[in-house]
Amino acid sequence: MATLGMAVLGCGRIGRLHARNLARHPRVRLAQVFDVAGEAAQQVAAELGVRSARSVDEIWDERNVRAVVIATPTDTHVPLIVAAVKAGKAVFCEKPIDMSLERARACWGEIAADAPVVMIGFNRRFDPSYRALRERLKLGEIGRLELAVITSRDPAPPPAGYLQSSGGLFRDMTIHDFDMARYLAGDIARVHAFGANLVDAEIGRLGDIDTCAISLRARSGALVQINNSRRCVYGYDQRLEAFGSGGMLQAGNRHETSVASWNAERTTGRDVVLHSFIERYAQAYEAEMDAFVAALAEGRPVSPDFADGVEALRLAVAAGESLRTGRVVELGP
Ligand SMILES: NC(=O)c1ccc[n+]([C@@H]2O[C@H](COP(=O)([O-])OP(=O)(O)OC[C@H]3O[C@@H](n4cnc5c(N)ncnc54)[C@H](O)[C@@H]3O)[C@@H](O)[C@H]2O)c1
Dump pLDDT digits (tens) for 232-285: 999 999 999 999 999 999 999 988 888 888 888 887 777 788 888 999 999 999
Give the strand pairing for 145-153 and 118-120.
unpaired
> Is a pLDDT exceeding 80 seen at residue 1?
no
| Shortest-distance atom of ligand 1 to CA 122 | 1
Determine the straight-line distance between the first and last CA of the chain, rounded to whole angstroms. Answer: 43
Per the prediction, the chain carries an average pLDDT of: 95
Domain with CATH 3.40.50.720 in the chain: 4-116
Tell how far the Cα of 74 is from the centroid of ligand 1, in angstroms.
Answer: 7
Domain 4-116 classified CATH 3.40.50.720?
Answer: yes
**Does residue 54's CB lie within 6 angstroms of at least one atom of ligand 1?**
no
Q: In this predicted structure, what is the pLDDT of residue 96?
A: 96
Does 238 sit in the ligand 1 pocket, CB within 6 Å?
no
Give CA separation, 159 vs 154, 182, 194, 235, 266, in Å: 13, 30, 23, 17, 37
> Is residue 100 over pLDDT 80?
yes
For 241, list phi and psi in degrees, rounded to 5: -140, 130
- Asked whether 74 lines ligand 1 (CB < 6 A), one says yes
Closest CA to 32 of 40, 21, 49: 49
Average pLDDT over residues 9-15: 97
Mean pLDDT in residue range 162-185:
94
> How far is 288 from 304, CA to CA, in rounded Å?
9
Average pLDDT over residues 181-206: 97
Is residue 14 within 6 Å of ligand 1 at its C-beta?
yes
Contact between residue 316 and residue 96 where contact means Cβ atoms under 8 Å apart = yes
User: Ligand 1: distance of its center to the CA of 122 in Å?
Assistant: 15
Residue 43 pLDDT greater than 90, yes or no: yes
Q: Which fold has domain 125-276+311-330?
A: Dihydrodipicolinate Reductase; domain 2 (3.30.360)
Whether the CB of 72 sits within 6 Å of ligand 1:
yes
3-class SS letters over 150-194:
EEEECCCCCCHHHHHCCCCHHHHHHHHHHHHHHHHHCCEEEEEEE
Q: Where are the alpha helices (DSSP H) in the chain?
A: 13-23, 38-48, 56-61, 77-86, 101-111, 128-138, 160-164, 169, 175-185, 201-205, 277-280, 282-298, 306-325
Q: How many CB atoms lie within 10 A of CB 3?
A: 16
Give 97's pLDDT tier (boundaries 50, 70, 90). Answer: very high
pLDDT at 209 over 80: yes
Does residue 208 surpass a pLDDT of 70?
yes
Higher-pLDDT residue of 92 and 260 is 92
CA distances from 22 to 10, 204, 257 (A): 14, 39, 28
Which residue lies with its CA nearest to atom 18 of ligand 1? Answer: 12
Q: Is 121 in the pocket of ligand 1 (CB under 6 A)?
A: yes
What would the mean pLDDT of 64-91 be, rounded to a whole number? Answer: 97
Does ligand 1 lie within 6 Å of residue 277's CB atom? yes
pLDDT single digits (tens) 277-319: 999 999 999 999 999 999 999 999 999 999 999 999 999 999 9
How much is the pLDDT for 47? 98
Question: Cα–Cα distances in Å, from 17 out to 6, 9, 20, 258, 282?
Answer: 14, 12, 5, 25, 9
| Residue 35 alpha carbon, nearest atom of ligand 1 | 34
Q: Give yes or no for residue 34 CB within 6 A of ligand 1.
A: yes
What are the residues whose beta carbons fall under 8 Å from the beta carbon of 287, sequence distance 6 or more?
A: 126, 127, 128, 131
Per-residue pLDDT of 26-36, as tens digits, reads 999 999 999 99
Residue 166 has pLDDT above 70, yes or no: yes
Q: Does residue 101 surpass a pLDDT of 90?
A: yes
CATH 3.30.360.10 domain range(s) in the chain: 125-276+311-330
> Can you list the alpha helix ranges (DSSP code H) found in 12-127?
13-23, 38-48, 56-61, 77-86, 101-111
152 CA → ligand 1 middle, Å: 21
Q: Helix, strand, or coil here: 114? A: helix
C-alpha distances in angstroms, 298 versus 2, 41, 44, 127? 12, 30, 29, 22
Question: Does residue 95 have its Cβ closer than 6 Å to ligand 1?
Answer: yes
